[in-house]
Copies of this chain bind each other. A is one copy, B any other.
């Protein structure tokens, strides 16, 4: 433990004498794609309400990108990790604690922020809609939950996958067209390239596309959907969450077989439905032997 370097210093002595050099340093922000699933209010007679996937966006009140919509986020502080920064911002923005949070990756194009050299470490966050005290449509900063569409477009001549991103809230409609660059060449372009973009700030269309991709991926492998529902839920609700994220309908029987090992049934049922009540389930905490 008392190794000495070429100047004869021990590690303690070296660190005591250390002065950081003058290498240029970027600002680093943690930005978040915060998703939730809400009931669509258009419920007629005694039908079940549908579900909608929604993303939290904030209208920019200053330059640059004044008037456009951006992901919530903020700068990372020296005493926290990027993940802790994201959790802190999220608590400030939505008042929700203990959120499912996952790192998506760094977006570091030197020109992504016209003001200065700012990298963004993007995160995916999932919240049960019932836990959010809606500061959406607030006063000072205009925040809103946008309905999300993310659908394949016919690929171009180059054969690369293209996706249309659509975000709607009230009368506002934002849209972007993105192209997926193959993995393995981050030196050229990282992941998604924005071909069209109306209404989103910075490179946030890219981040949202990455988030949707990740979300769809993890739905099939992991057990991520539970974070978008309350503790007790019906299997139909769970299936609706899957469908609204994947953007396509699933078969009931197959779906139930697939998620059966992930849930535990309770003895409670839904009430006051205009039809046969549904059993409530909880997430089964894993028990790998």
How far does the alpha carbon of A116 sit from the alpha carbon of B15 in the complex, in Å?
A: 10
> A interface, by DSSP: helix, strand, loop or mixed?
loop
Q: Is the CB of B3 within 8 A of A123?
A: no
Pick from B20, B27, B103, B222: contact of A116, CB under 8 Å = B20
Pick from B81, B187, B227: contact of A87, CB under 8 Å = B187
Q: Is the CB of A186 within 8 A of B110?
A: no
Q: Is the CB of B105 within 8 A of A103?
A: yes
Question: A20-B116, A115-B18 are known contacts. Are A66 and B227 too (CB-CB below 8 A)?
Answer: no
Which B residues are in CB contact (< 8 Å) with A76?
Answer: 26, 108
- Asked whether any CB of chain B lies closer than 8 Å to the CB of A6, the reply is yes
How far does the alpha carbon of A181 sit from the alpha carbon of B14 in the complex, in Å?
A: 34
Question: A28-B26, A79-B110, A110-B80 are known contacts. Are A187 and B63 too (CB-CB below 8 A)?
Answer: no
Proximity bits, A1-29, B CB within 8 Å = 1, else 0: 00101100101001100101001111110
Question: A11-B64, A116-B20 are known contacts. Are A190 and B103 too (CB-CB below 8 A)?
Answer: yes
A123: nearest chain-B partner, CB-CB: B186
How far does the alpha carbon of A163 sit from the alpha carbon of B183 in the complex, in Å?
A: 27
Q: Shortest 10 CB-CB distances between A and B: which pairs?
A: A83-B186, A14-B63, A87-B187, A25-B25, A100-B184, A81-B108, A82-B108, A20-B116, A3-B66, A84-B187
Interface residues of A (CB under 8 A from B): 3, 5-6, 9, 11, 14-15, 18, 20, 23-28, 61-64, 66-67, 75-84, 86-87, 100-103, 105-106, 108-110, 114-117, 119, 121, 123, 159, 183-187, 190, 222, 227, 286, 288
